[in-house]
Structure 1
Amino acid sequence: MNYRFQNLLGAPYRGGNAVITQNTNLISPVGNRVSVTDLVKSQTVTLPDQSSSNIRRIAASPDGVFLLTIDDNNRCLFINIPRRGVLHRITFKHPVSAVKFNPNGKYVAVAAGKLLQIWKSPGFKREVFGFELVRTFADCNDKILAIDWDNESKYLIVGTKDLTVRLFFVDKVKGSYKKPFSFLGHKDSVVGCFFGVDKKSNRVNKVYTIARDGFIFSWSYSGNDAKINDFRDEVLEDDEPPSPGTPEKDGEGIVKKRKDFDGKESGFGEDEDYLSGGAWELTKHCFMQAPAKLTACDYHRGLDLVVVGFSNGVFGLYQMPDFVCIHLLSISREKITTAVFNDLGNWLTFGCAELGQLLVWEWRSESYILKQQGHYFDVNTLAYSPDSQLLATGADDNKVKVWTVSSGFCFVTFTEHTNAVTALHFMANNHCLLSASLDGTVRAWDLLRYRNFRTFTTPSSRQFVSLAADQSGEVICAGTQDSFEIFVWSMKTGRLLDVLSGHEGPVHGLMFSPTNAILASSSWDKTVRLWDVFEGKGTVETFPHAHDVLTVTYRPDGKQLACSTLDGQIHFWDPIDGFLMYTIEGRRDIAGGRLMTDRRSAANSSSGKCFTSLCYSADGSYILAGGSNRFICMYDVADQVLLRRFQITHNLSLDGVLDFLNSKNMTAAGPLDLIDDDNSDTEEGIDKQTRGNMGYNLPGSMPNHGRPVVRTKCLKIAPTGRSFSAATTEGVLVYSIDESFIFDPTDLDIDVTPEAIDAALNEDQPSRALILSLRLNEDTLIKKCIFSVSLVDVPAVASSIPCRYLQRLIEALVDLLERCPHLEFVLCWCQELCQVHGNSIQQNSRNLLPALKSLQKAITIIHQDLADTCASNEYMLRYLCSVSIKK
């Protein structure tokens, strides 16, 4: 039960800005979480920390250790990325539109409304309240949209919505702060402003300002450099340097030190300001993309390159200051919401929030480093592959995506369906995926050639909402929403074999028994029916209920059947003898929060108090249940008790998270959040996209610009039992068992000690030592005893292991297969265990199934790696032989 959040799939990007740290780590917000993608290893992980609402802005320290996230409620989290922990929290008083660390990571500039605030970064000291406000500039007349530091942290440049760019002097000059210098001339809001530096002196000599109307202004500084040279060449008149502790002089011989924010002295004079006394020369350029608006931009100081993104999906890369267009391409039809360089400047990152699209493009070779796009609408269904390595998702955007669970990447997307995908099923061979859709088709996908090799249809159009296949893979069944029938096809020929009639409501649950050819179906007609598909006998058994049955599932051993009803109960049936075993009352456990449109409190509301998805664990000892609320419940099947509740999100941007709403947000016209006074999209020339364009309002979306409702549409446990996934409004949440060691002895006695194990090994008793280590159940000792056995003695030691310790021994061998290089030795252990304890494994298949699935997964991964290596070696040997023959 030690499941913890591991990753978030199905929604790589939803808005906000993205940053790249350490040149290869891409950090992007995903709702109220943050995703970190290693672009070299092609792996993505989602940090477990959650903000109170959707994240609006993020900023990373220059060394890539600290991350600052700010959400829509102006609440800020200061996160240590390697430790994945929150160090500090703070709430800003004004909406934050821009935030940036200074070059040494010591300070953070925050644009809080009209105010420019400089905070001391809290990552360097262990303090109760690490945030310290150093300085506030209140010289702007409107919202600040962009911020940039110079290399020496002496100047800050900000762009505002009042068409003005201001240059702020961070330190005092002649004992007081100078007024900011203003750059004027833009005719629209300033989206970006950046410092350009002289490569020889590493000093600011240019300023680039970019406006939303597609104009870029290049400001070149032409000042008197004599002042800078005099300061650089100024030395002490004395021949010898002053001894430590010599007081500073105001005379001509001693340079007066400049004090930094924290009072420490630096090597610059207090009155030294190399951007005063000169003139700025303006050069204007236009990107020529009207009527599209410029929505994102970035500047690389080392290469002097500017990248810009527009509301029509076009991006451009320009060489400055000559304004030479290097690339001008289109990546989508929606607006680009973020564009950023990596540290070397060879990779460009683009994000499109409307499509959930995240791209990393190498502009020199014109190739993609990363191309990920999530589901546009909510995910409806999930399916694990038999080896637990792949996860398939189907959604309301008519797409089927297949993800690699270990890396979190989608490697193939199928788009042949023309309506929402409602059900998925992996075949036993691991290379075939079935999908059912409301478009009236069931399609079979080849995961080796990535093609739709078979399509199952009906004489008249139907809407399929459930899907099942027998263990042999010969028969495919799909339940309908409109005709209340179950259609049966042959997998080999694709012909329609039978139509099962009898239900009087939509068939939303369908599953074959794991041990025989009996098909179970659940319907809104308040019944669960069992069908003998191969014998053609029709309905074998009918289990009546008092309320609509929402879903049905078999236990992995086929000896129990679970179904959930509309009144929030879970019923457990014996499918062999046909009697009700017991019932779990789950209305109070699944009770959801209050929606904005509810006229009743959460306690008195009847909506959402039922389970729409059930899933047994791999050994059948517990069951997971989820529905139209924020909780996933885990129940013990034998004792019918609630073991644990998983809250899928704390995101207040979703509806149904809170049990009590704030009464001050209620007006005579309804909830304040439902009143639409936002016209920013109209200003940008983009019409808002509305959901429900497929003929019905999609679940998870509300009319009148309401917020999405938190819910769980599908639950699946991996065949190995080490993880489970939930299709939620936030995306596909993946939970896995924590790998940290927990002391849980199997058969502890006063004589079972590490000393006794070492004594048995010293006396050359490997069998006794291994049994003692299995009883103690300590991972390091078990592996030590396994390696102490010689290869010749493996059959004898394996036969002496009691059956009750087989599961723990198999789990240890699985871990060794994944980590140690002694492949042949571990495989010999696996072979001997299967040969000696074959009958015991069959008798205890229910308890050993998770461990055996994990073993199958590990062996499959090793087989694939060896196959690839052998194939490459074969071609290399052929090449070397052909070269030697020619010579």
Structure 2
Amino acid sequence: MNYRFQNLLGAPYRGGNVVVSGNNQLISSVGNRISVTDLVKSNTITLPCQFSANIIRIAVSPDGNFILAVDENSKAQFINIHRRIVLHRITFKGKVSALQFSPNGQFIAVAVGKLIQIWRSPGFRKEFFAFELVRTFADFDDTVSCLNWSPDSGYLIAGSRDLTVRLFCLRKLKEFKNNKPFLFLGHRDVIVGVFFGVDKKTCKILRVYSVSRDGGLFSWGCPDFDGSLGGKGEKDEEMVDPPSPGTPEKMDEEGGIGGDGVIAVVDVKKRKEFDEKEGDFGDEGSEFLLHKLKWELLKKDYFMQAPAKVTACDYHQGIDMVVVGYSSGVFGWYQMPDFVCIHQLSISREKITTAVFNDLGNWLTFGCARLGQLLVWEWKSESYILKQQGHYFDVNCLAYSPDSQLLATGADDNKIKVWNVSSGFCFVTFPEHTNAVTALHFMANNHSLLSASLDGTVRAWDLFRYRNFRTFTTPSSKQFVSLTADQSGEVICAGTLDSFEIFVWSMKTGRLLDVLSGHEGPVHGLMFSPSNAILASSSWDKTVRLWDVFEGKGSVETFQHVHDVLTVVYRPDGKQLACSTLDGLINFWDPLDGALMYTIEGRRDIAGGRLMTDRRSAANSTSGKYFTTLSYSADGSYILAGGSSKFICMYDIAEQVLLRRFQITHNLSLDGVLDVLNSKKMTEAGPLELIDDDNSDTEEGIDKQTRGKLGLDLPGSMPNRGRPVIRTKCLRIAPTGRSFVAATTEGVLVYSVDESFIFDPTDLDIDVTPEAVDAALNEDQHSRALILSLRLNEDSLMKKCILSVNPADIPAVASSIPFRYLQRLIEALTELLEGCPYLEFILRWCQEICKVHGQSIQQNSRNLLPALKSLQKAITSSHQDLAEMCSSNEYSLRYLCSTAVKK
């Protein structure tokens, strides 16, 4: 029961901006969650914290320890990345359009509507209200669209939808009139990006760049300067003297504002040291007046990509380059200040919604929200560091590989993707289907995958060569919605949506062997028994039928139900059958005796929220109160059930009780999450969220995208105008039993068992203590020490006892372990195998356990199956790693031997 959210697959990026931290971690928003991708270790995780709506802006602190993220409801969370916990929360009074930490990490600039607010950055400590508002700038006439800090954290430049750019000074001046921002005019479209140009050697501000949506890049400078902002002649050195800490900066008498218009130089390093000592913007008498210069337009450059618009841009001060993304899916980067185009490349057919540099400037990161695409491009070698793309539409079906290392997903975008569960990356995509993929099935050999689609084909995929090696078709075109294969992999069966038949093919020849007729409705459930060759099928004709495919006897037995049967699954040992019906019941049958064993009524448990278009309240509505997907646990003791609801239910089968309900999301941007709708958002034209604003130029996400192609799977989809409805389309528990996945509206959610906070001893006695274990080890009583640690059920003690055994004594110690502790011992060996360098030693343990307890393991395979599957997964993973290493070493040795012979 101790499943916790671990990761989110199938949607690496859904909109908003993307940030790359200093330690090469790529931080992006996925709906109302935050995904963190390590570009060096090549893995991705999703933080467990959720927002109340889709995230629109993310900022990361300069040291890479904190994230500040804001959602559509202007609610922000301040998150510790390493601990993955929320430290502080704040709600802004308006929609946030831009967000950025200052380079020194002390302040945060937030664009809230027409205002720019400067907040003091919170720290590690938890406080009652950690955010402190320091300054507010209210000079714009329209929404602020972008902002950027100067490298010394003393200035802020911002662009707005009123076509202006303003330069703000954060120092507190004596006279209010002296603190007015400098105004840059000349753009004819919304400002997309503003940046400070800094000299590489002296770290001094040279110029200002501003980019507008119509493709204009304006360079601004001050003609009074010699190019280094150092003034004229010999006065440079006099004016770069650092101010004394704690005292106002003093202007040179001859170079002051009243003289020839030259001011003190902006020295970034010295200014940063001063700020760190001061800890604030300065005293009232400070005169740090970069914004009082007479900035002029030096140069106008245009990207010449009309009619495409500029949708994203970024500037790197170290290499003095600008990267730009367009609405046509093309990106380019330019060397400044000469505006030399280095390269242009098309990466998408949709608009690029974010484009950023990493800290070193050698990697470019691009995101396309509509396609769910995230790319990291190394521009020097012109190669991809990362290339991930989620499904365009909702995921329909899932399949775990037998060793639980791979996960296959099929969706309405006609694509199949195979993911590595441990890293969270998709490593292959199969796009050959021409219609929605409705069912997936991994073969027992772990090297091939089957898929069924509405395009009338069933395809077999080779996961070694990544190709479609066999296609199964029917004489006339059918729409397949269910799929299965027998344990030997010789027979493939698929159920149809339109003709209500089950087609049987030979895997070796691809020839159609049989057509099973008898159902009077769509066959949405299909599964072979794990113990024999009996095929179970469920249909909307209110029946579950058992078929003897190999003997050709047709329907062996029929189980009648009162309502339509939506799905059917076998228990892993094949001695029980579960099916869900339209009235919200889960019926458990004995397939041998044909008797009804248990019935679970889950209408109240699965009941979800209220849709915007519902005429009735959630309590009185009958829609969605049934289960569309079921999955047995690895040992068959409990079952997971999901449907058109925000809940996933876990039931104990023997007791017929609800063990736990998982709420898959708290995202209010999705329909069906709220139980009670807010009457304040109801207008005469209907709910406020469903009123289309045709004049809005929203750049993020998939707001009005039609989700899915199956009308029967989308109740209320037409009046809902494409607003996503929360649901669970498929559930699968891993063969190891340590995790399960759910195909939901937000993506594929991965839940995993976390045993770090569980103390679950067995046969605990007053003499079973850690001290007793240590005493037994000191006396070289390894068998007694291991049994005591297994009874105490402490991971560290069990591993310590296992590793202390002499290799020659392993057979004797393994034979002394009672069978009731065997499962825990296998789990401990699995954990050691995943993170221990003593591979041969652990494999010797596994070998001796199989020799000594082989018969007992075979007789109690159902209870030990999850632990054995986990052990198999760990051994397979180690084998793959060693195989790759050995193969590489073999070719290296061959090369070295051949060169030695030639010499």
Same fold (TM over 0.5): yes
Residue 773 (str. 1) matches residue 774 (str. 2): no
The 1:281–1:481 alpha-carbon spacing in structure 2 relative to 1, beyond 3 Å, is closer
Alpha-carbon displacement from aligned partner over 1:330-354 (angstroms, at most 9, x marks no partner): 1111111000000011111111111
**Distance in 1 between residues matched to 2:768 and 2:119, nearest whole Å:** 57
- The answer for the alignment partner of 2:256 in structure 1 is none
Note if contact 1:573-1:579 (Cα within 8 Å) is conserved in structure 2: yes
C-alpha distance in structure 2 between counterparts of 1:345 and 1:248, whole Å: 34
Alignment of 1:691 onto 2:692: no
Contact 1:165 1:182 in 2 (8 A): yes
Give the drift of 1:703.
Answer: 4.5
Question: Which residue of 2 is the match for residue 512 of structure 1?
Answer: 528
Task: Output the CA distance in 1 between the equivalents of 2:275 and 2:774.
Answer: 64
The root-mean-square deviation of aligned C-alpha atoms, in Å, is 2.5
CA shift for structure 1 position 138: 0.7
Partner of 1:92: 92
Contact 1:608/1:628 (<8 A) preserved: yes
Letter in 2 for 1:47: L
Change (3 A) 1:686 1:805: closer
Report the Cα distance in structure 2 between the residues aligned to 1:126 and 1:745, rounded to whole angstroms: 35
Match of residue 160 from structure 1:
160
TM-superposed deviation, 1:221: 2.0
| Aligned equivalent of 2:223 | 222
Is the counterpart of residue 413 in structure 1 residue 429 in structure 2? yes
Distance 1:695 1:288 in 2: 42
Q: Are the counterparts in 2 of residues 681 and 687 from structure 1 also a CA contact under 8 Å?
A: no
- Would you say the 8 A contact 2:20–2:359 is kept in 1? yes
In structure 1, the partner of 2:761 is 745
Paired with 2:635 and 2:700, the residues of 1 have a C-alpha distance of: 56
The 5-angstrom pairing of residues 247-396 of structure 1 reads 270-396=286-412
Query: Against the structure 1 CA distance between its residues 774 and 267, is the aligned structure 2 distance closer, same or farther, given a 3 Å change threshold?
Result: same
Deviation string 1:704-734 (CA, Å, 9 cap, x unpaired) is: 6342100000000000001000000000000
Give, in whole Å, the separation in 2 of the partners of 1:620 and 1:204: 67
What displacement does 1:675 show? 1.1
- Matched residue, 1:803: 819
1:604 equivalenced with 2:620 (yes/no)? yes
Q: Following TM superposition, by how much is the alpha carbon of 1:697 offset from its aligned partner in structure 2, in angstroms? A: 7.6
Partner of 2:558: 542
Match of residue 104 from structure 1? 104
1:240 corresponds in structure 2 to none
Between Structure 1 and Structure 2, how many residues are aligned? 876
- Equivalent pairs: percent with the same residue? 76
Change (3 A) 1:198 1:84: same
TM-aligned CA deviation for residue 598 of structure 1: 0.2
The reply to whether residue 232 of structure 1 matches residue 240 of structure 2 is: yes
> Over residues 199-242 of structure 1, what are the superposed CA-to-partner deviations in whole Å (9 max), with x where a residue is unaligned?
34422220101111111101122336267654434899xxxxxx
1:171 aligned partner: 171
Task: Map residues 833-848 of structure 1 onto 2, 5 A cutoff.
Answer: 833-848=849-864
Match of 2:74 in 1: 74
Distance across 2 between alignment mates of 1:731 and 1:21: 25
Q: CA–CA distance in 2 between the matches of 1:95 and 1:234?
A: 40
Deviations 1:107-149 (A, max 9, x none): 0011100001101111255421111111111110000001011
2:606 to 587, 590, 595: 590
Is the 2:16–2:700 contact (alpha carbons within 8 Å) kept by the matching residues of 1?
no
TM-score with structure 2 setting the length: 0.94
Aligned-partner SS, 1:222: coil
Alpha-carbon distance between aligned partners in 2 of 1:549 and 1:263, rounded to the nearest angstrom: 68
Contact 1:691 1:697 in 2 (8 A): no
Q: Give the structure 2 partner of residue 241 of structure 1.
A: none
Q: Is the 8 A contact 1:39 1:370 kept in 2?
A: yes
1:46 aligned partner: 46
Q: Is the 8 A contact 1:384 1:392 kept in 2?
A: yes
Determine which of 430, 453, 457 is the counterpart of 2:473. Answer: 457
Question: Any gaps of 5 or more consecutive residues in structure 1?
Answer: 237-243
Could you tell me which of 614, 617, 622 is aligned with 2:633?
Answer: 617
CA offset digits 1:379-412 (Å, max 9, x no partner): 0000000000000000000000000000000000
- Quote how far apart the aligned CAs of 1:281 are: 3.8
Change (3 A) 1:773 1:245: closer
Quick check: 2:87–2:126 contact (8 Å CA) kept in 1?
Answer: no
Residue 239 of structure 1 is matched in structure 2 by none
Residue range with higher mean Cα deviation, 789-798 or 801-810: 789-798
For 1:741 and 1:285, the matched residues in 2 are separated by: 60
Q: Taking structure 1 as reference, are residues 687 and 560 closer, same or farther at Cα in structure 2, changes over 3 Å only?
A: closer
Amino acid at match of 1:24: N
- Cα distance in structure 1, aligned partners of 2:884 and 2:281: 60
Partner of 1:664: 680
1:575 to 591, 608, 611: 591
Shift of 1:280: 2.2
CA distance in 2, matches of 1:763, 1:679: 81
- 1:436 partner SS: strand
Q: Is the 8 A contact 1:462 1:480 kept in 2?
A: yes
Distance 1:797 1:719 in 2: 29
Q: Which amino acid aligns with 1:534?
A: F
Which residue of structure 1 lines up, in the alignment, with residue 187 of structure 2?
A: 186
**Aligned equivalents of 2:169, 2:445: Cα separation in 1:** 67
Matches within 5 A, 1:135-146: 135-146=135-146
Change (3 A) 1:826 1:128: same
Helix, strand or coil: the match of 2:649? strand
Equivalence for 2:258: none
Residue 835 (structure 2) pairs with residue 827 (structure 1): no
- The whole-number CA distance in structure 1 between the counterparts of 2:753 and 2:734 is 11
CA distance in 1, matches of 2:396, 2:824: 36
The corresponding residue for 2:205 is: 204
Aligned 8 A contact 2:14 2:701 in 1: no
Residue 667 of structure 1, CA deviation: 1.6
Q: 1:867 aligns with which of 846, 866, 883?
A: 883
State the partner residue of 1:854: 870
Q: CA deviation at 1:320?
A: 0.7
1:439 alignment partner, SS class: coil
Give the superposition deviation at 1:260: 9.1
- Stretch deviating more after TM superposition (664-673 or 634-643): 664-673
Match of 2:257 in 1: none
Normalization by structure 1: what TM-score? Answer: 0.95
Residue 228 of structure 2: aligned partner: none
Q: Give the whole-Å Cα distance in 2 for the aligned partners of 1:735 and 1:574.
A: 30
2:569 and 2:630 in contact (8 A); partners too: yes
Letter in 1 for 2:134: V
Contact conserved, 2:172 with 2:282, CA < 8 A, in 1?
Answer: no
- Specify the SS of the correspondent of 1:406: coil
Tell me if the contact between 1:79 and 1:85 (Cα under 8 Å) persists in the aligned partners: yes
Match of 1:483 in 2: 499
Residues in 2 aligned to 1:79 and 1:370: alpha-carbon distance in whole angstroms: 25
